Structure 1
Amino acid sequence: MSVAKIADAYAEALLELANSNKSLKETTNDMNIVSQFLANSSDLKKFLGNPLITRERKKNVLKDVLGEQISSVSLNFLMLLVNRGRVAFLDKIAQKFLELSYKQDAIEIAKVTSSVALSAQQQKELAGKLKLITGAKKIKLALRVEPKLIGGFTVEIGSKLIDTSIRGQLKKISNLLGA
């Protein structure tokens, strides 16, 4: 089974659970925390994906790191992933859950990668412009800093990519020149 299918199945199951418990908002917040944690800690990702580390140790680390920050329902879901040997896919599962949750609430996720951190004002303006472009009721920015862009940013919404980075522009020029 592919990673995407696994992520879809678990994300849909968690969404169904959150809807039935009337805890969608709380679970969405929890998965945001999990997703941000994994995005900022490549060591945790590697740890969870390492098949040589015991399930018990993975559970203990997840409880220590996230136990105080997320609900018991979400923590139990993470324990289920560990028990079933699917915790290595946690990042993809959390992202898919957030995508489904936001779609349910007519919220679009925009993955923004910038060369430097965006200020709150820049984030607000970007979200406003993306709302106009997409026609979405609300835009949720998933921010990431990538200094290799040199300057500017890229925005990915669904299958659309907007590249205003200097690296992207240099690549276009290079392609035009046939280099």
Structure 2
Amino acid sequence: MSVIKVASRYAKSLLDLAKEQNNVEQVLGDIQSFKQAMENRELLLLTKSPIVSLSKKQAIFDQIFKGNFDKLTMSFFDIILRKGREAYLPEIATAFIDQYNRLKGISKVHITTATPLTEQALEAIRTKLIASDITDESIEFSTNVDPSIIGGLVIKIGDKLYDASVQRKLNELKKDFSENKYVKAF
């Protein structure tokens, strides 16, 4: 079974349990904190290591997260560790956050531009996205500045990419010229 399927199933189970216990927001906070903790390379390697024993991993998880995380989250981690699925925890965290966003009708939109966007430009983009039905009513933006795109913007929504950058258009022209589309044969 693929990592995505495994992560999605475990994330759904945790989300369902959190909904039953009316504890979704607390568990979401725990999972977001856990995901941030996984940015620590050593903790990530420990989590994915087949060499480190179950008891050692459980002790480390208890040391780091117990008392800070909800009992449901800690129980979930315990189950994942006992089943030997801890290597999937970073993916499970990502899948949980994605499923939470779908549940709450939140679209995550990542925008890359050549120069920083103003609040007015972001609001205009928000209005157009909502009107287009590509996103939900609630949008969370993340932005990135990449001067190499020269101008325009690149918008990523979920697994969809909309590239309206000047760099892409130049690359298309370059490809067209290299294929002699604009050169007439004599």
The CA deviation string for residues 92-131 of structure 1, in whole angstroms up to 9 with x for no partner, is 1111111111111111123x4869xx89x86x96487346
Q: Secondary structure at the match of 2:107?
A: strand
CA distance in 2, matches of 1:172, 1:159: 22
CA distance in 1, matches of 2:55, 2:104: 36
Q: After TM superposition, give the deviation of residue 170 of structure 1 in Å.
A: 7.9
Note if 1:3 corresponds to 2:27.
no
Question: How many residues are paired up?
Answer: 171
Aligned residue number for residue 22 of structure 2: 22
Amino acid at match of 2:83: R
**Unpaired runs of at least 5, structure 2:** 179-186
The CA deviation string for residues 53-76 of structure 1, in whole angstroms up to 9 with x for no partner, is 111121222222233432121121
Are residues 114 and 55 of structure 1, via their aligned partners in 2, closer, same or farther at CA, if it must alter by over 3 Å? farther
Amino acid at match of 1:53: V
Note if 1:100 corresponds to 2:99.
yes
Amino acid at match of 2:5: K
Amino acid at match of 1:7: A
Q: Which moved more, 1:99-108 or 1:67-76?
A: 67-76
Note if 1:44 corresponds to 2:40.
no
**Unpaired runs of at least 5, structure 1:** none
Structure 1 vs Structure 2 CA RMSD: 3.5
The alignment's TM-score, normalised by the length of structure 1, stands at 0.73
Aligned residue number for residue 136 of structure 1: 136
Q: Is the 8 A contact 2:112 2:143 kept in 1?
A: yes
Larger radius of gyration: 2
The CA deviation string for residues 10-63 of structure 1, in whole angstroms up to 9 with x for no partner, is 01100110110011111112111112222x223222211110011112122222
Q: Secondary structure at the match of 1:102?
A: helix
CA distance in 2, matches of 1:53, 1:104: 36
Q: Secondary structure at the match of 1:101?
A: helix
CA distance in 2, matches of 1:165, 1:55: 49
Note if 1:65 corresponds to 2:64.
yes
The CA deviation string for residues 138-166 of structure 1, in whole angstroms up to 9 with x for no partner, is 2235x698x9x566785432221245789
Amino acid at match of 2:76: F
Amino acid at match of 1:28: L
Q: After TM superposition, give the deviation of residue 168 of structure 1 in Å.
A: 6.7
- Percent identical pairs in the alignment equals 20
